[in-house]
């Protein structure tokens, strides 16, 4: 048998293999290099009236975000993590967004108590408006309840991260959360996008200009899926020009899955 055809096939195979290795190595490194100015847009739940329009903007510009979810009152249907909104959450999971806990009943930390418990007040759920004293186990249960609901709605395991409502924390609360597998995520000073501020004093144009001027690479940004108190809604009016404006300046949007401050935690505590 003439060995030349087999030798030729082996050479072709080797060349193809080398080419594929080169493609994947340079392709992935190039993809990583493209995002040299990442920002991390995070969206907390709210009254949800603007959620469909916000999702359209994100999809139109192929922007992935991290949702911090609680079961809050909404303008339409049941709670933000209720059955009415289940298809909306499922669609966001299919688009590749990331999810994390905001405590199921949107529970605010208020104080550390002398007996080691936490003073808290929920703004949603059956105990809304009631000041309570919670053990570490009760706070962990609230974190897990939101994660469990998200998993049920999306089919995607939420990240072992959380955001305390209002960003209000203490060293004890943070340690409590870490003991049950959750790291806290705040936001950058420039990342506070201002959708909670009164529109009579902070116009959408002003908030947009401030964000485009001040946001820096690596910043975590914060907005909501609807704010009850703001008369001139921030979203979706500001969301789209914010995205396009930042992209024009070379920024790219990533989820907290890739944030360097949380990489080790996510790897160690993935659920």
Q: Does residue 126 belong to any structural domain of this protein? A: no
Q: Does residue 127 belong to any structural domain of this protein? A: no
pLDDT in the model for residue 27: 34
Residue with the larger pLDDT of the pair 4 and 175:
175
Cβ atoms 177, 138 nearer than 8 A: no
Provide the whole-model pTM: 0.87
Banded pLDDT at 173 (limits 50, 70, 90) = very high
Banded pLDDT at 1 (limits 50, 70, 90) = very low
Residue with the larger pLDDT of the pair 29 and 160:
160
Cβ atoms 75, 139 nearer than 8 A: no
Banded pLDDT at 270 (limits 50, 70, 90) = confident
- Per-residue pLDDT tens digits for 182-204: 999 999 999 999 999 999 999 99
Q: Does residue 188 belong to any structural domain of this protein? A: yes
- Per-residue pLDDT tens digits for 174-187: 999 999 999 999 99
For the packed helices 136-154 and 171-179, what is the interaxial angle rounded to 10 degrees? Answer: 60
Range of the domain at 251: 36-104+144-269
In 3D space, the residue among 38, 43, 109, 93 whose CA is nearest the CA of residue 262 turns out to be 38
pLDDT in the model for residue 21: 34
Residue 190 tokens, joined: 């420039």
In 3D space, the residue among 217, 175, 213 whose CA is nearest the CA of residue 194 turns out to be 213
- We report the CATH number of the domain holding residue 40 as 3.20.20.370
Q: Does residue 121 belong to any structural domain of this protein? A: no
Q: Does residue 118 belong to any structural domain of this protein? A: no
- Per-residue pLDDT tens digits for 15-36: 333 333 333 333 333 334 458 9
pLDDT in the model for residue 247: 98
> Side-chain half-sphere of 128: how many Cα atoms within 13 Å?
11
Token look-up 């004093």 returns 201
Calpha distance 254→218 (Å, rounded): 10
Residue % of the chain over a pLDDT of 70: 87
Cβ atoms 271, 158 nearer than 8 A: yes
b/e per residue 174-188 (b: at least 16 CB within 10 A): bebbeebbbbebebb
Q: Out of 10-14, 164-168, 249-253, which region has the weakest mean confidence (pLDDT)?
A: 10-14
**Over the chain, what is the mean pLDDT?**
90
pLDDT in the model for residue 4: 43
At 205, give phi and psi (nearest 5°).
-60, -40
Q: Out of 21-30, 89-98, 137-146, 235-244, which region has the weakest mean confidence (pLDDT)?
A: 21-30
Burial bucket for residue 165 (CB in 10 Å: 0-12, 13-18, 19+): buried
Q: Does residue 242 belong to any structural domain of this protein? A: yes
pLDDT in the model for residue 35: 81
Q: Does residue 14 belong to any structural domain of this protein? A: no
Task: Report the Cα 235 to chain-centroid distance in Å.
Answer: 16
Q: Out of 7-21, 74-88, 122-136, 146-160, which region has the weakest mean confidence (pLDDT)?
A: 7-21
Cβ-proximal residues to 165 (8 Å cutoff; 6+ apart), any chain: 44, 70, 102, 103, 106, 107, 108, 123
**Number of structural domains, the chain?**
1
- Per-residue pLDDT tens digits for 216-255: 999 999 999 999 999 999 999 999 999 999 999 999 999 9
Task: Report the Cα 176 to chain-centroid distance in Å.
Answer: 21
């Amino acid at each position: 048998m003439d060995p030349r055809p087999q030798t030729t096939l082996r050479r072709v195979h080797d060349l193809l293999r080398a080419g594929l290795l080169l493609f994947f190595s340079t392709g992935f490194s190039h993809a990583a290099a493209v995002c040299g100015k990442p920002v991390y847009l995070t969206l907390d739940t709210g009254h949800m009236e603007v959620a469909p329009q916000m999702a359209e903007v994100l999809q139109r510009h192929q922007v992935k975000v991290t949702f911090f979810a609680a079961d809050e009152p909404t303008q339409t249907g049941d709670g933000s993590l209720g059955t009415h909104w289940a298809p909306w959450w499922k669609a966001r999971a299919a688009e590749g967004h990331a999810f994390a806990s905001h405590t199921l009943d949107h529970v605010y930390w208020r104080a550390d108590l002398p007996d080691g418990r936490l003073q808290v007040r929920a703004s949603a759920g059956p105990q809304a408006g009631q000041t309570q004293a919670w053990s570490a186990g009760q706070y962990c249960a609230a974190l897990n309840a939101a994660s469990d609901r998200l998993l049920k709605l999306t089919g995607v395991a939420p990240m072992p991260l959380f955001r305390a409502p209002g960003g209000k924390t203490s060293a004890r609360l943070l340690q409590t959360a870490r003991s049950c597998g959750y790291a806290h995520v705040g936001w950058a000073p420039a990342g506070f996008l201002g959708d909670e501020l009164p529109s009579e004093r902070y116009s959408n144009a002003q908030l947009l200009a401030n964000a485009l001027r001040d946001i820096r690479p690596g910043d975590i940004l914060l907005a909501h899926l609807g704010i009850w108190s703001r008369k001139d809604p921030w979203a979706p009016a500001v969301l789209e020009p914010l995205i396009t404006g930042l992209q024009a300046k070379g920024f790219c949007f990533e989820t907290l899955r890739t944030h360097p401050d949380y990489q080790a935690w996510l790897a160690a505590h993935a659920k």
